[in-house]
A and B are shown apart, each in its own frame.
Chain A
Amino acid sequence: MADLRPAAIMGGNRIPFARANGPYARASNQDMLTAALDGLVARFGLQNARLGEVAAGAVLKHSRDFNLTREAVLGARLSPWTPAYDVQQACGTGLETTIHVANKIALGQIESGIAAGVDTASDAPIAVNEDLRRVLLQVNRAKSLPQRLALLRKLRPTQVIPETPRNAEPRTGMSMGEHAAITAREWGITREEQDQFAVSSHLHLAAAWKRGFFDDLVTPYLGLQQDQNMRPDASMESLARLKPVFGKDGTATMTAGNSTPLSDGASAVLLSTDEWANERRLPILTHLIDAETAAVDYVHGGEGLLMAPVYAVPRLLERNKLALQDFDFYEIHEAFASTVLATLKAWEDPSYCKEHLGLSKPLGPIDRARLNVNGSSLAVGHPFAATGGRIVTTLAKLLAQKGSGRGLISICAAGGQGVVAILEAA
């Protein structure tokens, strides 16, 4: 086996993120993923290029999209000889595809690849009623007409009610917001803290757009030129007017303003070996140094649903002999403002770090001025599988602009999972 060679990240492309049932309401996952890939092709001159692979995925996915990524590649301007596959790890999907492609590059199995993700909450799959489905499958298996007729007599009017996807955990029946509200209460995260955090996300994002930071990261799509959810005029006053939507009355702190909205969008990241990039004179922004995935047992009450990154990060730091403070930028996915705040509090808490993470001393605080400096999901929106690619390219460009240093990415995901990674300036 060849020596390990950290994968280079040259940049990426995404379409502006839209609010669900907004400008992308009629766009499918395949449409948006193809658009994100084509924008990347245009930016890097990859027309008809055969890459090592394209890995992508979606969280909300139609059954007909069993080969979503490959179909998008065939529809995009890449060479149709480029292999592709789907990955699905809830909100971790976009970062997980990046890790997949980077690992294959590091191992010398491929020279180049694209990691991507897409999601639509507008064009969500609606499934046939489960009872109806069972009857229809039995009819299909039946051998004679009388048997079929007997089965068809079992059909009931209630079976026309379709199954729509819910943003809820199958094992607890609780929505992600309700889970997050429990964690917020446990850690004593106040409404003011959360609103303040959301305001800064919007203001940071608006400032980044204003100074052209996204000029070479985003390609407009279907008439949308900037992230639709962004509120450049967000303020504590405007957020204070919102009623809590998650948690119990009285103690509830989480509103639509400090939670991410349902969103539509797609993103893609270009990775390769240093040699592949150099041959094409593509400047390398960063290298992906290492990554870690963790899961927590949120079902039996051991831990909060979105707390897995809290466990993944110390393992990643330990392996790389780094302290939490050794980073120039932190990109912590803002599923909810309270999630980020609880994560940071957990790392600062000596007894929690000792009992839950097995650490002799806490990871300690981070410099908040280095956290999500260009805004994150609260302002940008969060099309589940597209968030990872957005964060990777944003951080890669931040590090390239700085010219040195490293950044930490932390993304929580449904099912009690977390994906984290380290990027280093090239």
Chain B
Amino acid sequence: MKLKIPGVPSPTRLRRYAPGQPLVDGPVLVGGAPGGKLRDPICEILGRAGASVGESPSAVAEPSRWSAIIFDATGITDIAGLLALHAFTAPAFRNLRPSGRLIVLGTPPEDCPQPKAAAAQRALDGFIRSAGKEARLGSTANLIDIAGGAEDAIESTLRFFLSGRSAYISGQVIRLTPATPMPTPDWDHPLRDRVAVVTGAARGIGAAIAETLSRDGAQVIVLDVPAQGAALAEVANSVGAIAFQIDITAEDAPARLATYLKDRYGAVDVFVHNAGITRDRSLVNMPAEQWSSVLAVNLGAQLRINEALLDQNVLRPGGRVICISSTSGIAGNRGQTNYAASKAGIIGMVQALAPVMAKGDMTINAVAPGFIETAMTKAMPFATREIGRRINSLNQGGLPVDVAETVAWLGQPGTAGVNGQVIRVCGQSILGA
């Protein structure tokens, strides 16, 4: 996996979260443009997390000074205001530690009535995407747009993007909408007392999701088809989860699942739709059954299960549904008309269900992994695999745990403000960017 190719730089080892690890591994530089009101809440959050805060960027080169740079750009209303962003981040950016973070907080452009304000806020989007490409040594750059009224809901998201949990996410824009987050008493176990279900959990990304949710304190129920039962039981026993063998495409599966979950748990807090299959063929050679089976497993089952979860009140208030999509569903991929259709369909479903979920104080989001090192990618031809790994800002493939950490963040009781979104875990892949 760690093959060295002459002339190609070897990728930086990313700082990933391990239990007990501090939120950041050095001081955090916090600044903002006039008119922003988030500096104090940010400093409070950093203080609670035990991080030290610096306020002025040094003009001289001090490599590895900052673990993160946070800039509150919510007050920027015109082009002139953007100068403050440049003045603050330009000198500090070179002083980021490896796996450092540049986080800009903005206002959603569509919430700005003035065209010049909307333009200035949308400018942040291009800025962060370019900064992500310039970032070195495993550092990332992300923009969090905070709608009016969502200021109280930033903690879980800010912590996520500061921490090693977001190692493989860069160049993304995350939107926080007004919502009342439920309290998180223990940030080392943010999912304590939550009940979480993961489909397709016998191996790969699903197994990593189960492990991560369990590590964060959730009681996890892992699902897979009966044929995968042996591997599923092993996953369950190694992470302290409960195995439930079910073919989610079966006619009676949604009803059986809902009954099982209600009988055993009353209701659940987190439901992760991870199960998916690929049946790759070029469009002209694709038989109808390969088309249909991929759509049935990857999309049809999710739709039917979500319907059952909502109709039968299987999700508790504060419930979180997380659907695994794919960058293939955003950018398309040769030989994957069926797969990409199913994964794009997931995004449509998530966006349509988000307002419905919000009414019940719940959220639904999609996670779109890019190139993730799994048994599936291991089977790719060498050149295809090597290109897939490298065509992103972090110059490497992601790990299943990177997807799992993103799912865990979206599943947190505090992540109430993220709803109806697609979070790409792709290292800022150039595909579909």
Query: Does residue B103 face the partner (Cβ distance < 8 Å to A)?
Result: no
A221 and B244 contact, Cβ closer than 8 Å, known pairs A42-B237, A212-B250, A282-B264: no
Contacts of B236 in A (CB 8 A): 42, 45, 47
Contacts of A45 in B (CB 8 A): 219, 236, 240-242
Residue among A48, A77, A215, A283 making CB contact with B226, cutoff 8 Å: A215
Query: Does residue A100 face the partner (Cβ distance < 8 Å to B)?
Result: no
Q: How many A-B Cβ pairs are below 8 Å?
A: 68
Residue among A38, A42, A220 making CB contact with B227, cutoff 8 Å: A220
Contacts of B243 in A (CB 8 A): 39, 42-43, 219
A219 touches B245 (CB 8 A): yes
Query: Does residue B230 face the partner (Cβ distance < 8 Å to A)?
Result: yes
Contacts of B228 in A (CB 8 A): 220
A281 and B263 contact, Cβ closer than 8 Å, known pairs A42-B232, A42-B233: yes
| Residue of chain B at shortest CB distance from A39 | B233
Contacts of B227 in A (CB 8 A): 220, 225
Please, how many angstroms separate the alpha-carbon atoms of A38 and B237 in the complex? 8
A283 touches B237 (CB 8 A): no
Please, how many angstroms separate the alpha-carbon atoms of A14 and B294 in the complex? 31
Query: Does residue A85 face the partner (Cβ distance < 8 Å to B)?
Result: no
Residues from 33 to 47 in A contacting B, C-beta threshold 8 Å: 38-39, 41-45, 47
Number of contact residues on B: which range applies?
A: 20 to 34
Nearest CB in chain A: distance from B409 CB, A: 25
Query: Does residue B265 face the partner (Cβ distance < 8 Å to A)?
Result: yes
Please, how many angstroms separate the alpha-carbon atoms of A267 and B229 in the complex? 15
Contacts of A220 in B (CB 8 A): 226-230
| Residue of chain B at shortest CB distance from A35 | B230
Most buried by A among B230, B232, B240: B230
Nearest CB in chain B: distance from A322 CB, A: 30
Nearest CB in chain B: distance from A148 CB, A: 51
Query: Does residue B266 face the partner (Cβ distance < 8 Å to A)?
Result: yes
Query: Does residue A216 face the partner (Cβ distance < 8 Å to B)?
Result: yes
Query: Does residue A291 face the partner (Cβ distance < 8 Å to B)?
Result: no
Please, how many angstroms separate the alpha-carbon atoms of A41 and B233 in the complex? 8
Please, how many angstroms separate the alpha-carbon atoms of A283 and B259 in the complex? 11
B233 touches A38 (CB 8 A): yes
Query: Does residue B366 face the partner (Cβ distance < 8 Å to A)?
Result: no
Query: Does residue A55 face the partner (Cβ distance < 8 Å to B)?
Result: no
Contacts of B229 in A (CB 8 A): 39, 218-220, 225
B46-59 interface code vs A (CB 8 A; 1 in, 0 out):
00000000000000
A43 touches B263 (CB 8 A): no
Query: Does residue B372 face the partner (Cβ distance < 8 Å to A)?
Result: no
Please, how many angstroms separate the alpha-carbon atoms of A214 and B226 in the complex? 9
B233 touches A216 (CB 8 A): no
B242 touches A42 (CB 8 A): yes
Contacts of B264 in A (CB 8 A): 281-283
B242 touches A43 (CB 8 A): yes
Contacts of A282 in B (CB 8 A): 264
B250-286 interface code vs A (CB 8 A; 1 in, 0 out):
1010000000000111100000000000000000000
| Residue of chain A at shortest CB distance from B233 | A42
Q: Is the interface of A mostly helix, strand, loop or mixed?
A: loop
A35-74 interface code vs B (CB 8 A; 1 in, 0 out):
0001101111101100000000000000000000000000
Please, how many angstroms separate the alpha-carbon atoms of A218 and B226 in the complex? 8
Contacts of A77 in B (CB 8 A): 237
Please, how many angstroms separate the alpha-carbon atoms of A47 and B234 in the complex? 11
Contacts of A44 in B (CB 8 A): 242
Residues from 273 to 306 in A contacting B, C-beta threshold 8 Å: 281-283
Query: Does residue B247 face the partner (Cβ distance < 8 Å to A)?
Result: yes
B245 touches A215 (CB 8 A): yes
Contacts of A221 in B (CB 8 A): 230
Contacts of A38 in B (CB 8 A): 233-234, 237
Please, how many angstroms separate the alpha-carbon atoms of A282 and B243 in the complex? 14
Please, how many angstroms separate the alpha-carbon atoms of A38 and B241 in the complex? 12
Nearest CB in chain B: distance from A207 CB, A: 15
Query: Does residue B323 face the partner (Cβ distance < 8 Å to A)?
Result: no
Contacts of B230 in A (CB 8 A): 39, 219-222
Query: Does residue B246 face the partner (Cβ distance < 8 Å to A)?
Result: yes
Most buried by A among B219, B234, B237, B246: B237
Closest 6 CB pairs of A and B: A42-B233, A42-B236, A42-B243, A45-B242, A219-B229, A77-B237
Some 18 contacts from A to B, beta carbons below 8 A apart, are A38-B234, A38-B237, A42-B233, A42-B236, A43-B243, A45-B241, A45-B242, A47-B236, A215-B246, A215-B247, A216-B244, A220-B226, A220-B227, A220-B229, A220-B230, A225-B229, A281-B263, A283-B263
